[in-house]
Structure 1
């Protein structure tokens, strides 16, 4: 049975995708900083993501998205960008103010 992709899973997959683009792998301490959560929370969530086949984890090297995780991360990023466009192009909100709102909207569309 396929697990529901929750807000938390989406946030982690999006963060891992962005870190991978920048650094080739996402280290857990980078996730702690990026997501502003406790190290233990990242460890537990990384273990869950690996169990559910969203990522592969190599100790001391970091995590990488699997094909399944990458697919979901790209969907989240697309929704984020669409949310940004809605907020700037249609609602005329200043670009420097849309990121937070787009983060909330991306999970609802």
Structure 2
């Protein structure tokens, strides 16, 4: 199973909060080097550490695990719905047309 995406998600949410690795390390009591190792996917954090990271980033575990869980697509659909809701009706319509076209022509 590919766990690198857990680290990528941690990095994504860290950057979304305008945090440096040092900031996240300070909030969790971990070293900046360890944060880097996790974000690169070189190491999967232990459960207690994972919980510290999720709490420090103020995100749910399923948001960090979305790409490795079979039910992760529910989270992605929810996040996508939130993004779509911020668009104008015209822009939403265009995106729906693109998605419909992609579905019709899937391999």
Q: TM-score range by the shorter chain?
A: 0.3 to 0.5
Larger radius of gyration between Structure 1 and Structure 2: 2
TM-score (norm 1): 0.32
Quick check: which one's strand share is greater? Answer: 1
Quick check: which one's helix share is greater? Answer: 2
TM-score (norm 2): 0.32
